[in-house]
């Protein structure tokens, strides 16, 4: 809408991605701050609260009355702010909106089943959830592969040139990136605000990377690939604003949880950002906390199956530190610090090629 105003009324300032990104950030922020308290009251009134896993640490039992599915609000805020500010003719921006919508639907279905049956394990079965995620990711990847002006080369940090052209095999990697990142953020969302701040940090990095990738002069100077993806930085900025508003209510002690409707969607969108900015490998550093959380689960399951021994007291790894009697806010803040530092390193790597 704002871009249309620029064209109709010749308001040049609205042509800038940075201006529209800033506007999107604040629209999403204020939308979330305004709607979330009403959503929390609705959740309490209708008992749309978070069912606690019986195997979770004992201290989590007191969170059983906390409303969930807050992701619906901040993803909704992101979509509203984005539709108000993006250029609709941009193929990559439409792909970003598609990613948000598809994965929110999957997450909502899982959340609603848990709330309806008041049982943490009563959501979508693991295989069914993965199947839906693969289908959604496939639709997004097919859209990129078929309609976007986009190459299939693989870039890695610290190298000036692409490693090689993946060709049709890029489809497999891209689906894996979206699905894996979606589940990684979902695994991390186990403590108050634990997944929220690392997501904001990762989005901050991607706003910079996407903007550079979409700017031919800057990307050429930094020896980075260049595509017309700049408009997606506006959506990422909107999600940053929405998550900032959500963190106001989600910080310890949380008044609301994001649920799978939020965590699955954030992860899928981060995967999408990594793909369109050719940062699939750099995503491992940008999302370091999500990677560590996922690896802890893989190591635990693998060790128990092979050796009948556990590596950690409980996984994902934030539960391990809970079992060691670390205060919840100490675990959260330390994970936040690690996330911010890893994103600083990721941005520094853009210049070292």
CB contact at 8 A, 15 and 3: yes
Collapsing DSSP to helix, strand or coil, 164 comes out as: strand
Q: When comparing pLDDT for 253 and 11, which is higher?
A: 253
pLDDT in tens, 69-90: 999 999 999 999 999 999 988 9
pLDDT of res. 47: 77
Residues in the chain: 353
Beta strands in the chain (DSSP E): 153-154, 164-165
Least confident of 234-248, 275-289, 306-320: 306-320
> What predicted TM-score, i.e. pTM, was given to this entire model?
0.94
pLDDT class for 338, splitting at 50, 70, 90? Answer: very high
Q: When comparing pLDDT for 260 and 158, which is higher?
A: 260
pLDDT of res. 172: 94
CB contact at 8 A, 193 and 234: no
- Does residue 317 register a pLDDT over 70? yes
Nearest-angstrom CA–CA distance, 28 and 175: 28
Whether omega for the bond prior to residue 316 falls within 30 degrees of 0, making it cis, is yes
Nearest-angstrom CA–CA distance, 350 and 98: 28
Q: Maximum CA pair distance of the chain?
A: 69
Nearest-angstrom CA–CA distance, 140 and 138: 5
DSSP-assigned letters across all residues of 293-335: HHHHHHHHHHHHHHHS--SSSSSSHHHHHHHTT--HHHHHHHH
Long-range residue pairs from 322-326, CB within 8 A, at least 24 positions apart, any chain: 322/57, 322/59, 322/191, 323/57
Nearest-angstrom CA–CA distance, 312 and 69: 29
pLDDT of res. 51: 67
pLDDT of res. 124: 81
Nearest-angstrom CA–CA distance, 27 and 86: 13
Least confident of 143-147, 239-243, 248-252, 339-343: 143-147
pLDDT in tens, 120-166: 555 688 899 999 999 999 999 999 888 777 788 999 888 888 888 89
Phi-psi category of 167—alpha, beta or left, where left has phi over 0 and alpha has psi -120 to 50? Answer: left
pLDDT class for 112, splitting at 50, 70, 90? Answer: confident
Phi-psi category of 69—alpha, beta or left, where left has phi over 0 and alpha has psi -120 to 50? Answer: left
């Amino acid at each position: 809408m704002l871009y249309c105003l620029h064209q109709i009324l010749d308001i040049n300032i609205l042509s800038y991605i940075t201006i529209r990104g800033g506007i999107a950030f604040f629209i999403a922020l204020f939308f979330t701050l305004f709607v979330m308290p009403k959503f929390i009251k609705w959740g309490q009134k209708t008992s749309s609260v978070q069912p606690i896993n019986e195997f979770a640490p004992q201290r989590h039992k007191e969170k059983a009355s906390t409303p969930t599915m807050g992701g619906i609000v901040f993803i909704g805020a992101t979509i509203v702010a984005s539709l108000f500010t993006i250029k609709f003719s941009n193929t990559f921006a439409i792909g970003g909106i598609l990613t948000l919508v598809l994965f929110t639907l999957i997450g909502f279905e899982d959340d609603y089943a848990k709330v309806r049956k008041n049982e943490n394990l009563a959501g979508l079965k693991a295989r069914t959830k993965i199947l839906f995620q693969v289908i959604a990711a496939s639709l997004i990847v097919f859209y990129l592969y078929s309609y976007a002006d986009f190459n299939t080369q693989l870039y890695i940090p610290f190298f000036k040139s692409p490693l090689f052209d993946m060709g049709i095999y890029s489809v497999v990697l891209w689906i894996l990136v979206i699905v894996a990142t979606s589940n990684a953020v979902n695994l991390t969302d186990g403590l108050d605000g634990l997944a929220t701040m690392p997501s904001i940090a990762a989005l901050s990095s991607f706003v910079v990377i996407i903007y550079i990738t979409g700017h031919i002069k800057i990307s050429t100077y930094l020896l980075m690939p260049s595509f017309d993806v700049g408009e997606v930085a506006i959506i990422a900025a909107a999600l940053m604003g929405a998550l900032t508003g959500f963190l106001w209510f989600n910080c310890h002690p949380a008044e609301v949880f994001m649920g799978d409707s939020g965590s699955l969607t954030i992860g899928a969108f981060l995967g999408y950002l990594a793909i369109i900015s050719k940062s699939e490998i750099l995503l491992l550093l940008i999302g370091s906390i999500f990677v560590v959380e996922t690896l802890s689960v893989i190591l635990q399951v693998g060790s128990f199956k092979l050796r009948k021994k556990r590596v950690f007291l409980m996984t994902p790894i934030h539960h391990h530190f809970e079992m060691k009697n670390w205060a919840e806010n100490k675990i959260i803040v330390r994970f936040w610090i690690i996330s911010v530092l890893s994103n600083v390193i990721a941005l520094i790597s853009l210049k070292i090629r």
